[in-house]
Structure 1
């Protein structure tokens, strides 16, 4: 796992290209620790997750998946579940920049992200059934919420993969770009998001994440509460002033 910052954008790179960026104990723990650090870092307003080499992530490292931990230690699945929970609940926009293969746990990483930008060469598949492995990070639970249920079942049962273009057609991917333009395109998108009010984006994410588990009336009440709370912020005062003065707002996140 490697990481860097470009302006207000934090880049997390799955960096085990010889192992197709599969998730081992060390990389999962590094990923989780970096999320915890950047969660409360006001200088990071947007997170991008990507991979090195020809894969985004091929899932859990199966060489470690079956090994028993030392007494008192969490096993690999426990660590992955903790990571995915942290990624789903990360309070800032998270973009998956899918550079290549996103299979099994790699697809589940994608499912944890808010926006998905894929290179034309990217491919998406569950693949657990190919190895007699059961998904534990959202493959069966979340995928049917993201794409049509019959398409999700096809991917789950067959272990086959979708092209980036088909993944966009089914709603899993927001944009498909040439492979050589992925990083530049995602940085430009992340920069646009980073210029917006962090409070607005965080509140929108909370409401959107919880809406599917609520009635429409409860979701609307949640949205109104967030709206009322935001009305006491510095950012709304700045945004309205910028509108009146015909200038770009300078949001501070409080």
Structure 2
């Protein structure tokens, strides 16, 4: 396996990004951030890639940021982006709004920045043995990429506070019960399950998925009526898309649609 901190592989139109620092529980490093920046731009511009899957090598998905590198980056010159600027502004925030569906495949320990990375995904598939938590409180560190701000939007408030305040982890099944995880699978079946889900989604219209994601992501910050207006606006645009006409034609002709993402 390559020694690069982040691996990229195109598996039949599914981009697999594998965090590859198993000896450090895949803690996020500056090298990993640089590779994320490079690969996300590459994936965005490749029309043949329909879905993104993020996972980890070894026994951890990701245990958070490399704290030594975080501390070292505090000495950057004024006006220059430090570690957290680059991680949040150039990796996690773009992932949250990435135009293509993103799946997190949690293969093991998922804590702190690893949890915040998983929260950027649209869907989460987890191995049975995966443990999921925040853990910032264990080190007197404060979450800066969604732990306190976004987690309560995904799981019940008291569950989010339990994870934040105690620093403990919960099992994949427990987090599925709370709505964080979509599917829990046997450890040895994680990659197969994540790839199968990605390929299933990849058959759908890329432009329809992109518009659905945009509206769904924004809905929580809008009133119901504003969210409905946003949905109708996107629907009216979508009515004139090639993919919608192709989908309706395929339905009438009883054949599989051939979407083009336009």
TM-score between the two structures when normalised by the length of structure 1 = 0.98
What is the 5 A alignment of 1:135-146?
A: 135-146=143-154
Give the Cα separation in 2 of the matches to 1:152 and 1:38.
32
Distance in 2 between residues matched to 1:190 and 1:70, nearest whole Å: 39
Gaps spanning 5+ residues in structure 2: where? Answer: 1-5
Following TM superposition, the consecutive aligned residue runs of length 4 or more in structure 1 with deviations greater than 4 angstroms are none
Q: Which residue is 1:173 aligned to?
A: 181
TM-fit CA distance, 1:69: 4.2
Gaps in structure 1 of 5+ consecutive residues: none
User: Secondary structure at the residue paired with 2:149?
Assistant: helix
**1:3-152 matched pairs, under 5 angstroms:** 3-67=8-72, 68-71=74-77, 73-82=80-89, 83-152=91-160
- Number of aligned positions between the proteins: 254
Question: Is contact 1:117-1:175 (8 Å) kept?
Answer: yes
Measure, in 1, the Cα distance between the counterparts of 2:175 and 2:233: 35
Matched-pair contact (CA < 8 Å) for 1:32–1:86: no
Cα offset, 1:49, TM superposition: 0.4
Match of 2:245 among 229, 234, 237: 237
| Aligned residues: CA RMSD | 0.9
Secondary structure of the structure 1 residue equivalent to 2:37 = helix
Report the Cα distance in structure 2 between the residues aligned to 1:185 and 1:126, rounded to whole angstroms. 25
8 Å CA contact 1:47–1:94 kept in 2: the answer is: yes
Q: d(CA) in 1 for partners of 2:64 and 2:97? A: 20
Partners of 1:45 and 1:69 lie apart in 2 by 39
Asked if 1:246 is matched to 2:254, the reply is: yes
**Deviation of residue 36 (structure 1)?**
1.5
CA shift, 1:136, in A, is: 0.2
Give the Å deviation of 1:203.
0.4
Q: Deviations over 1:13-59 (max 9, x none)?
A: 00110010000111012112211221121111100000000000010
Structure 2 distance, partners of 1:22, 1:30, is 14
Alpha-carbon offset, residue 73 of structure 1:
3.5
What is the CA–CA distance in structure 1 between the aligned matches of 2:255 and 2:232, rounded to whole Å? 28
Matched with 2:3 is none
